Amino acid sequence: MRKREKEKRLKGFRDFLWEEEGMGTVEIILIIVVLIGLVIIFKTQLRSLVEKVFEKITTDSNTVME
């Protein structure tokens, strides 16, 4: 009886391992395409935001150095 239970659990574990699939290449490519599209759409907004952040960092670091 114990051996059958063990075999049954082991079979269930094997089935679980074979059923589970990770992300495929197509999904990863779609995510990358969407991210690139968002960057292209919001390019000017992102550029201005990054410039403002670096300006703020530069001015704040200058005040600390003085």
Dihedral sign (CA 61, 62, 65, 66): negative
Q: What is the pLDDT of residues 37-53, one digit of tens each?
A: 999 999 999 999 999 99
**Quick one: pLDDT at residue 19?**
63
**Coil, helix or strand for 46?**
helix
**Quick one: pLDDT at residue 62?**
73
- Enter the pTM of the model: 0.46
The two structure tokens encoding residue 30: 């779609």
Residue spans of the domains in the chain: they are: 23-66
- Residue 66, pLDDT > 70, answer no
Q: What is the pLDDT of residues 1-38, one digit of tens each?
A: 566 766 666 677 677 666 656 667 888 899 999 999 99
